[in-house]
Structure 1
């Protein structure tokens, strides 16, 4: 079932909005229709509503739809108020400068990884991850680092939603293999991407946890097999830990409600 499919008209509209955004370019109605689960009249009505509300923008010359200005404003507000990105920004920059490598910040979005921020290495490398993109959780360092520290029931649910598509010869192929690796990550406190999503791309990743152990995100130091190896990346673990702890403290002071409730109740 698609996310939002059980949430009435609002859920359907958000699903269509996400479909349009995922094209990554202005798109025609028939392109959306070809992949949408909605019949043509329903899809047309939803797109018209989104356009009227400024969530989609229609170009009459090209007959294409794209994310609208209102959506951009909301996304910017969300970045400022509801994610780790703003809090983590100076720590990511410092970590990138210390390591000379690419640094990622991510959160879980349902069963996927949402990249919130990225700081490029001194010598940037082309790779899939970009701020605002979503990626698979089971074959990325940040994804596995986050899944390893979810509560058991939530972890089982997220693992069950993974596709286990084989991207490279190193990709974990099934839930059993993933669970074994997640147990190792919990034991050590950090994990790796061993060219599991993209050939030649490796990383060491660490969860960002509250004082009570609640997961709020993850970060990684990423490089290539042409430039380094996993053993060398692992030497950055102390720097990752320092940055993750600093982000956690700052985030809890800033906006995470469970921490505020615990302080109020003395838990």
Structure 2
């Protein structure tokens, strides 16, 4: 019952935020209570909580509630991701044309990677990845290359929380081995996924840095292991690192 009540509270709070966003002049407590069929004291408590976190604010002259600047802050963060896609897309297309393989663009979020762009290439390849889907960091090339460039304490927190679960027989599951592996990735500037996440799939990835110098995303090329030979990976590594650098520069990185 407590969980159900908590979910209802979140639902009502989101309804309030949505309603407040529909009127430039905002809403009064009585009007909001009538709109969502809730008593005024409950609506007032919701508004007070939202105001504390900056999602709404009260006009001191009219007493009406309007959207707060926290919503703008969240929108700006979303726009950052959209900008990344726009800036990266020409380079993704270039990689797709060059390799005919699957090209991924991911962002780092809460200890995982999220696919925000995927180009399929001209070759048939069945993969689990899709735009909007999350993936683990420890067994994907994009995840490992981001982990390698995070502050050590942050990397350790992620590994402690998520663990190193086995996805295939080639997944690295020992922490000491994995830590040494990340150090090598950072030195080389790229990461490989040698069938560590999906059987028969090999990937190579490079990091993308933001204007603040922090790693925020990664780009990868994925193909069947039979095509992604050692020789081909050696040929692709300079290209994908170059693309990573170019996208980073487009985002304002001057490292």
Length-normalised TM-score, structure 2? 0.69
Aligned mates of 1:79, 1:124 — CA distance in 2: 32
Aligned mates of 1:116, 1:76 — CA distance in 2: 16
Q: Unmatched 5+ residue regions in structure 2? A: 20-73
Aligned mates of 2:3, 2:244 — CA distance in 1: 46
Post-superposition Cα deviations, 1:29-60, rounded to whole Å, max 9, x if no partner, equal xxxx9xxxx622222332354466569xxxxx
- CA contact under 8 A between 1:204 and 1:237: conserved in structure 2? yes
2:162 corresponds to which residue?
Answer: 162
- CA contact under 8 A between 1:160 and 1:175: conserved in structure 2? no
Across the aligned residues of Structure 1 and Structure 2, the Cα RMSD in angstroms comes to: 2.9
Equivalence map 1:1-267=2 (5 Å): 39-50=3-14, 80-83=79-82, 84-209=84-209, 214-252=214-252
Q: Name which one, 1 or 2, has greater alpha-carbon Rg.
A: 2
- CA contact under 8 A between 1:194 and 1:201: conserved in structure 2? yes
Aligned mates of 2:141, 2:211 — CA distance in 1: 22
- CA contact under 8 A between 1:137 and 1:162: conserved in structure 2? no
Moved beyond 6 Å, runs of 4+: none
Length-normalised TM-score, structure 1? 0.66
- CA contact under 8 A between 2:189 and 2:241: conserved in structure 1? no
Aligned mates of 1:41, 1:226 — CA distance in 2: 53
Post-superposition Cα deviations, 1:181-222, rounded to whole Å, max 9, x if no partner, equal 101111211110011111111111111235885313211111
- CA contact under 8 A between 1:141 and 1:203: conserved in structure 2? yes
Corresponding residue pairs, total = 201
> What SS does the corresponding residue of 1:234 show, helix, strand or coil?
helix
> What SS does the corresponding residue of 2:121 show, helix, strand or coil?
coil
Q: Unmatched 5+ residue regions in structure 1? A: 1-32, 56-74, 263-267
Against the structure 1 CA distance between its residues 47 and 239, is the aligned structure 2 distance closer, same or farther, given a 3 Å change threshold? same
Alpha-carbon distance, 1:126 to partner: 1.8
Against the structure 1 CA distance between its residues 230 and 211, is the aligned structure 2 distance closer, same or farther, given a 3 Å change threshold? farther
